[in-house]
Amino acid sequence: MAAVRTRFAPSPTGYLHIGGMRTALFAWLYARHHGGVFVLRIEDTDRERSTQASVEVIMQGMSWIGLDYDEGPLFQSDRIDRYREVLDQLLEQGLAYRCYCSQEELDAVREEQRAQNIKPRYNRKCRDAKNPSRPGVEPVIRFRNPLEGPVVFEDLVRGRISISNDELDDLVIARADGTPTYNFAVVVDDIDMGITHVIRGDDHVNNTPRQANIFKALDAPLPVFAHVPMIVGADGQRLSKRHGAVSVMEYRDQGFLPEAMRNYLVRLGWSHGDQEIFSLEEMIEFFDLSRVNRAASAFDQDKLRWLNQHYIKEADGERLALLLCQRLRELEVSLEGGPQPAAVVEALRERAQTLDELVGKSLYFFQDVGEYDEGAAKKHLRPAAGPLLEDVRERFAGVDQWAPEVIHAQLHACVEAQGSKLGKVAQPLRVAVSGTAATPPIDETLALVGKQRTLQRIDAALAFIAARAGQDA
Partner RNA sequence: GCUCCCUUCGUCUAGCGGUUAGGACGCCGGCCUCUCACGCCGGUAACAGGGGUUCGAUCCCCCUAGGGAGCGCCA
Residues 358-417 that bind RNA (CB under 7 A): none
Residues 300-329 that bind RNA (CB under 7 A): 300, 302-303, 305-306, 309-310, 313
b/e for 434-472, b at 16 or more Cβ within 10 A?
bbbbebbebbbbbbbbbbebbebbbeebbeebeeeeeee
Residues 14-53 that bind RNA (CB under 7 A): 43, 45-46, 49
| Distance in Å, CB of 271 to RNA, minimum | 4
Query: Which residue type is seen at 356?
Result: D
> Of the ranges 82-90, 234-242, 384-392, 461-469, which one interacts with RNA (CB under 7 A)?
234-242
3-state secondary structure at position 339: coil
Quick one: 338 or 428, whose CB is closer to RNA?
428
- Binding residue for RNA, selected from 321, 437, 455, 460, defined by CB under 7 A: 437
Spell out, one character per residue from 439 to 468, where the chain touches RNA: x when CB under 7 A holds, - when not: xxxxx-------------------------
Residues 128-157 that bind RNA (CB under 7 A): 140
| Distance in Å, CB of 417 to RNA, minimum | 16
> Of the ranges 78-86, 248-256, 286-294, 318-326, which one interacts with RNA (CB under 7 A)?
286-294
- The whole-angstrom separation of Cα 145 and Cα 170 is 5
> Of the ranges 55-63, 250-258, 265-273, 318-326, which one interacts with RNA (CB under 7 A)?
265-273
Residues 333-362 that bind RNA (CB under 7 A): 350-351
- The whole-angstrom separation of Cα 434 and Cα 390 is 18
Quick one: 196 or 211, whose CB is closer to RNA?
211
Quick one: 88 or 466, whose CB is closer to RNA?
88
* Number of alpha helices (DSSP H) and beta strands (DSSP E) in the chain: 19, 12
| Distance in Å, CB of 336 to RNA, minimum | 26
H/E segment holding residue 285: helix 280-286
- DSSP character string of 155-184: ETTTEEEEEEGGG----EEE-TTSPBPHHH
> Of the ranges 64-72, 79-87, 197-205, 387-395, which one interacts with RNA (CB under 7 A)?
197-205
Tell whether omega for the bond before 120 is within 30 degrees of 0, i.e. cis.
no
| Distance in Å, CB of 33 to RNA, minimum | 17
3-state secondary structure at position 270: strand
Do 189 and 78 touch, CB atoms closer than 8 A? no
- Binding residue for RNA, selected from 55, 161, 224, 333, defined by CB under 7 A: 161
Do 361 and 434 touch, CB atoms closer than 8 A? no
Q: Which CB contacts under 8 angstroms, 24+ apart, belong to 279-287?
A: 280/66, 283/29, 284/29, 284/32, 284/33, 285/33, 287/26, 287/29, 287/30, 287/32, 287/33
- Binding residue for RNA, selected from 234, 417, 463, 467, defined by CB under 7 A: 234
Quick one: 89 or 293, whose CB is closer to RNA?
293
| Distance in Å, CB of 179 to RNA, minimum | 7
| Distance in Å, CB of 92 to RNA, minimum | 21
**By C-alpha distance, which of 420, 421, 400, 396 is closest to 410?**
396
> Of the ranges 80-88, 254-262, 263-271, 281-289, which one interacts with RNA (CB under 7 A)?
263-271
Is there binding between residue 55 and RNA (CB under 7 A)?
no
Residue 367 DSSP one-character state: S
- Binding residue for RNA, selected from 270, 364, 366, 396, defined by CB under 7 A: 270
Provide the terminal-to-terminal Cα distance of the chain, rounded to the nearest Å: 88
241 is catalytic: yes
Residue among 241, 303, 313, 378 flagged as catalytic:
241
CA distance to 23, 125, 220, 299, 415, per residue, from 239 (Å): 15, 39, 36, 8, 55
Residues 83-122 that bind RNA (CB under 7 A): 102-103, 106, 110, 117-122
- Binding residue for RNA, selected from 6, 181, 213, 454, defined by CB under 7 A: 181
125 — alpha (psi -120 to 50), left (phi > 0) or beta? alpha
| Distance in Å, CB of 208 to RNA, minimum | 8
Q: How many residues bind RNA (CB under 7 A)?
A: 81
| Distance in Å, CB of 470 to RNA, minimum | 27
71-75 vs 37-42, strand pairing mode: parallel
- The whole-angstrom separation of Cα 278 and Cα 261 is 11
Do 168 and 208 touch, CB atoms closer than 8 A? no
Active site residues: 241
